[in-house]
Structure 1
Amino acid sequence: MGDQLSRDISSLKDARKTKDVILMGELWDEATSVRHHKKKIILVLSAMRHFAEELKKDGWRVDYQKLDDKNATRSFTELVNRAVKNHEPAELIVTEPSERRVLQEVEGWEKAFSIPVEIRTDDRFIASHQEFDDWAKSRKQLRMEYFYREMRRKTGLLMEGDKPAGGEWNYDKENRKPASGDLFMPSPKTFKPDAITKDVIDLVKGKFAEHFGDAEPFQFAVTRKDALKALDHFIKEALPRFGDFQDAMLTGERFLYHSVLSAYINIGLLDPLEVCKRAENAYLSGDAPINAAEGFIRQIIGWREYVRGHYWRGGEEYVRRNFFGNERKLPAFYWSGETDMACIRETVTQTLEDAYAHHIQRLMVTGLFAMLAGIDPYDVHEWYLIVYFDAFEWVEAPNVIGMSQYADGGALGSKPYAASGAYINRMSDYCKTCRYAVTKKTEEDACPFNTLYWDFLARNEKKLKDNPRLAQMYRTWAKMEKGTKLSYRARARAILDKLDAGERI
């Protein structure tokens, strides 16, 4: 499948060049399951074509369907049905799909085709489904930090015997520095499209013209060889300062010290453990500080594995959870970037052009506004799945439903990530060029995040007041004069009415 482009994927581990056929297909149903960003479709299709060519050159028989082939099938099941008729196989072997809807389709194949179907574990992940369930079932609350420590012990990464390297498990307190424009900012490694990629770009521009985002310039790696170059570049040029500035945001600096490797890991061009070992080696050799190596490794063996566990444990209805009962529709500026809020304009414009924004832009700008404004979390989930090049439902849904929108009521995280404009001002330079004043509270030109923050706490007080991590904020709210409270709520109402009316904010 398009996110299984690894030579050592479990379905290929005992494959035989003399007898086996490798089946791959570009499928309309997958490209349009949501209206994926053009660059995301280009990335996956080009990487698939390159992977198939590498297999063929290595002597494998590959049955490959291009999206624009005559009589191309639309779905996995149709593709397999045709291949079964053509090849008459004794058995079908597949690595488990990463998404629930596809797994349900695969689970019906044995009955549909009357041949044995072996669904193998995706062992590119560190924790199996059973391991995560065993860890989770004995706990009243699930928290990533404790799961992460188990993954550190299992992998041995940044461990000194049974103790964490440097004496601490987590150095996040050192990783919240704002950045300034006079820093040297390394750009991620980029790659010129070859003939295969150019063909895919033309295909996507023709067939998916109405999809979100820009198709060009396209500069991502589409082979393992180039993905390894991108990894080398990050370890050498950006990892040493990644920790310090991983939460920072700067106008015009879209990548800062971030790796931009997530999509390569998610589609199989890079193995997550090899990436983490490279970061660990940089620390051990003195080329990166502990806070940088630990923070980067935590995102992969901690957070990435943790959200995958939640996705499968959460069940089919997880993406429909709506703890706050939010029903407002996603504002049009999430698609256009046309808003007077500089932070959202910068993030959405970047997303349109690059299919990328880093985790704080996603969580504390677009995600934060959506939660404060009471946007339907399913709409927010679908938007993130559409717009980002690394978004696959298993990793995107828990990040949005659980972390960003707190729509699961705390199953994934201990509190909603609610903040006023002060946080964005502290971690970015966006507020300097915004028409709204981050220092103002309820005036016409006050930052909408300021007003909506208190309105969010007020309207959800019954659901959140007993959360110990919000106790101080509710004490502050309780001490406010009645007139101040009414001013916050009235200004918030005016902003939300403008949203509902489709007016510019």
Structure 2
Amino acid sequence: MSARRPRAGGALRVVLGDQCTAGLSALDDLDPAADTVLMAEVQAECTYVRHHPKKIALVLSAMRHFARALEARGVRVAYVRLDDADNTHTLRGEVVRAANRLRPAAIVATEPGEWRVLEDMRGWQDAAGVPVEIRDDTRFVCRLREFRAWARGKRSLRMEFFYRDMRRRTGLLMNGDTPEGGRWNYDAENRKRLPPGIDVPAPPAFAPDAITRDVLALVAARFGDHFGDLDGFAWPVTARDAGRMLDDFITRRLPSFGDWQDAMATGEATLFHSLISTSLNCGLLDPLEACRRAEAAYRAGDAPLNAVEGFIRQIIGWREYVRGIYWLHMPDYATRNGLDATRRLPDFYWTGETRMACLRAVVDQTRAHAYAHHIQRLMVTGNFALLAGLDPDQVDEWYMIVFADAYEWVEMPNTRGMALHADHAVVGSKPYAASGAYINRMSDYCAGCAYDVRQSTGPAACPFNALYWDFIARHADRFAGNPRMAMPVRTWRRMAAAKQRALRERAADFLAAMDAGDAV
């Protein structure tokens, strides 16, 4: 990358690995004659958790491609590669080193996506001896100060009401003040089981170019012992290819996305999902533009309302909401354990070696692709972690490690909040706890399982069934006053004592075997 020395007094503009966006606020008012953009691949960011190799390769390749695109526009880029001999391997170290060499008048950055990086960024000024300006991340529809204003004074912060505000603000799927179709939410129409024999279009695969091949070799050499397969890397790493992934979704998968967005099927890793979360979260796609493209497909009669509304809700509703929740409640949010869960994460979350077909399928898929869709995350790996009482710290770390789209701002509220109900009911008013019946209804996993989903007790019974009732029993007093949990608590309390005992014994036996490392 360019090493030309700028005039002293220009700005050093720092671009992080998940900020590969031409319109990044840190690049506003950039003067190519005086300013330098710093991008640094550092070991600390690759290993603060042991990221899936595909995640590391995605970010490093996206960074290198973005740096090249900036240089093509005449922007001076100081690019630090992971294998550079003088790499300090920390963001602060590279900022200080660049400031000492370039003598900028100021350092300009866009606010990061993770609390730990913001804490580090706040120390750059003292460390480098240069004023630091941290700008809003304008790639989101809702600024953090706007979210704080929305949340102020509210007793509960439900996503649905935030989402409606975002619809009004953006005008997406609105007819004046009225939502398209007369309803805000079509989620009830998006829970169909996948019919046998349905044609599922394969998503695009983006063959690695020379830049990506170099990155893959580097990642294999340095991080080959991390969880996950590097073979078959095919994620988009440029804005152009991210746009092609979006195009493919809009034309080939969006029409069927709504009906089957909650479905799961053996051997079908992607179904009709958009696969744009990696691109959104590292800055290759504009979220509002993606929503407008989906809305245009609906207006043109090319996609049904339930599909388009569900897609838009995931982006301007859920994605924006969890970011706001994260920054509103950090750093305390990262320590919350509202259900006092302490059990160690079992080894099969890493190995996939379990007789439970659903967990085996999702872990194997995640190892191969660094991807699982939202229901696999919430209602298989997340649901099991909730029912078994797994330690939120360990579950949080697992989700951060294994998924290519995982950044703490989006991962933690989804995991600690939505899946584990550990955040003192900030994100969800009830835990998303379910027995094996839910997984059987929404997937074909149970048909190939060693356990019988129709049984609740005995060694052949689906573990989710006994674990569900054991979970209700453990937390009955806590949930009895929750209107959305009162029915299962009443059902448990009315259950015959012998049946209660058999369910809890089955749960205890299973958990004891799991804790001992026995085959479960």
Does the 8 Å CA contact 2:159/2:318 hold for their aligned counterparts? yes
Equivalent residue for 1:285, pick from 296, 300, 306: 300
Which residue is equivalent to 1:115? 130
Which residue is equivalent to 2:65? 50
- Show CA shifts across 1:150-191 (max 9, x none): 000111111100110111000001000010231110122111
Equivalent residue for 2:432, pick from 417, 421, 429: 417
Q: Which whole-Å CA distance do the structure 2 matches of 1:200 and 1:486 have between them?
A: 55
Q: Which whole-Å CA distance do the structure 1 matches of 2:278 and 2:188 have between them?
A: 27
5 Å-filtered alignment, 1:394-473, equals 394-473=409-488
Q: Which whole-Å CA distance do the structure 2 matches of 1:275 and 1:27 have between them?
A: 31
Does the 8 Å CA contact 1:339/1:345 hold for their aligned counterparts? yes
Which residue is equivalent to 1:102? 117
Equivalent residue for 1:268, pick from 264, 278, 283: 283
Which residue is equivalent to 2:382? 367
1:296 matched to 2:331: no
Which residue is equivalent to 1:202? 217
Does the 8 Å CA contact 1:181/1:250 hold for their aligned counterparts? no
- Show CA shifts across 1:41-90 (max 9, x none): 00000010011111112211100000011111211110011101111101
Letter in 1 for 2:321: Y
Residue 71 of structure 1: SS of its match in structure 2?
coil
Q: Which whole-Å CA distance do the structure 1 matches of 2:424 and 2:104 have between them?
A: 47
Equivalent residue for 1:183, pick from 194, 198, 217: 198
1:486 matched to 2:504: no
1:353 matched to 2:368: yes
Which residue is equivalent to 2:10? none
Q: Which whole-Å CA distance do the structure 2 matches of 1:277 and 1:257 have between them?
A: 19
Does the 8 Å CA contact 2:262/2:442 hold for their aligned counterparts? yes
Which residue is equivalent to 1:60? 75
Does the 8 Å CA contact 1:110/1:117 hold for their aligned counterparts? yes
Q: Which whole-Å CA distance do the structure 2 matches of 1:315 and 1:203 have between them?
A: 34
TM-score normalized with structure 1 length = 0.99
Measured after TM superposition, the shift of residue 479 of structure 1 is: 1.5
Which residue is equivalent to 2:268? 253
Q: Which whole-Å CA distance do the structure 1 matches of 2:425 and 2:478 have between them?
A: 11
Q: Which whole-Å CA distance do the structure 2 matches of 1:130 and 1:64 have between them?
A: 32
Letter in 1 for 2:477: K
Residue 45 of structure 2: SS of its match in structure 1?
helix
* Mean CA deviation greater in 127-136 or 486-495: 127-136
5+ unaligned residues in a row in structure 2: which ranges?
Answer: 1-15
Measured after TM superposition, the shift of residue 315 of structure 1 is: 1.9
Does the 8 Å CA contact 2:355/2:450 hold for their aligned counterparts? yes
1:17 matched to 2:32: yes
Q: Which whole-Å CA distance do the structure 2 matches of 1:281 and 1:235 have between them?
A: 10
Residue 70 of structure 2: SS of its match in structure 1?
helix
Q: Which whole-Å CA distance do the structure 1 matches of 2:342 and 2:182 have between them?
A: 46
Q: Which whole-Å CA distance do the structure 1 matches of 2:252 and 2:330 have between them?
A: 41
Which residue is equivalent to 1:379? 394
Consecutive aligned runs of 4 or more in structure 1 exceeding 6 Å deviation? none
5 Å-filtered alignment, 1:136-215, equals 136-215=151-230
5+ unaligned residues in a row in structure 1: which ranges?
Answer: none
Equivalent residue for 1:75, pick from 90, 97, 100: 90
Q: Which whole-Å CA distance do the structure 2 matches of 1:411 and 1:43 have between them?
A: 32
Which residue is equivalent to 2:55? 40
1:127 matched to 2:142: yes
Letter in 1 for 2:73: D
Letter in 2 for 1:410: A
Does the 8 Å CA contact 2:173/2:295 hold for their aligned counterparts? yes
Which residue is equivalent to 1:322? 337
Residue 79 of structure 2: SS of its match in structure 1?
strand
Which residue is equivalent to 1:504? 519
Residue 278 of structure 1: SS of its match in structure 2?
helix
Letter in 1 for 2:129: S
Measured after TM superposition, the shift of residue 134 of structure 1 is: 1.2
Residue 23 of structure 1: SS of its match in structure 2?
strand
Q: Which whole-Å CA distance do the structure 2 matches of 1:31 and 1:388 have between them?
A: 13
Measured after TM superposition, the shift of residue 409 of structure 1 is: 2.1
Q: Which whole-Å CA distance do the structure 1 matches of 2:441 and 2:479 have between them?
A: 25
Q: Which whole-Å CA distance do the structure 2 matches of 1:430 and 1:407 have between them?
A: 28
Does the 8 Å CA contact 1:176/1:247 hold for their aligned counterparts? yes
Q: Which whole-Å CA distance do the structure 2 matches of 1:181 and 1:108 have between them?
A: 56
* Identity value in percent: 55
* Mean CA deviation greater in 70-79 or 380-389: 70-79
Residue 244 of structure 1: SS of its match in structure 2?
coil
- Show CA shifts across 1:246-294 (max 9, x none): 0000001110000010010000000100110001101111100000000
Q: Which whole-Å CA distance do the structure 1 matches of 2:436 and 2:501 have between them?
A: 19
- Show CA shifts across 1:214-244 (max 9, x none): 0111111111011101110000000001000
Letter in 2 for 1:256: L
Q: How many residues align?
A: 505
Q: Which whole-Å CA distance do the structure 2 matches of 1:8 and 1:451 have between them?
A: 51
Q: Which whole-Å CA distance do the structure 2 matches of 1:391 and 1:464 have between them?
A: 31
Does the 8 Å CA contact 1:180/1:250 hold for their aligned counterparts? no
Measured after TM superposition, the shift of residue 474 of structure 1 is: 1.3
CA RMSD of the aligned region, Å?
0.7
Q: Which whole-Å CA distance do the structure 1 matches of 2:74 and 2:349 have between them?
A: 47
Measured after TM superposition, the shift of residue 378 of structure 1 is: 1.0
Does the 8 Å CA contact 2:100/2:128 hold for their aligned counterparts? no
1:5 matched to 2:20: yes
Letter in 1 for 2:183: E
Does the 8 Å CA contact 2:479/2:489 hold for their aligned counterparts? no
Q: Which whole-Å CA distance do the structure 2 matches of 1:32 and 1:177 have between them?
A: 39
Residue 395 of structure 2: SS of its match in structure 1?
helix
Equivalent residue for 2:246, pick from 231, 238, 241: 231
TM-score normalized with structure 2 length = 0.96
Q: Which whole-Å CA distance do the structure 1 matches of 2:336 and 2:121 have between them?
A: 26
Does the 8 Å CA contact 2:194/2:443 hold for their aligned counterparts? yes
Residue 258 of structure 2: SS of its match in structure 1?
helix
Which residue is equivalent to 2:4? none
Measured after TM superposition, the shift of residue 114 of structure 1 is: 2.1
Q: Which whole-Å CA distance do the structure 2 matches of 1:402 and 1:55 have between them?
A: 38
Residue 215 of structure 1: SS of its match in structure 2?
coil
Q: Which whole-Å CA distance do the structure 2 matches of 1:180 and 1:71 have between them?
A: 56
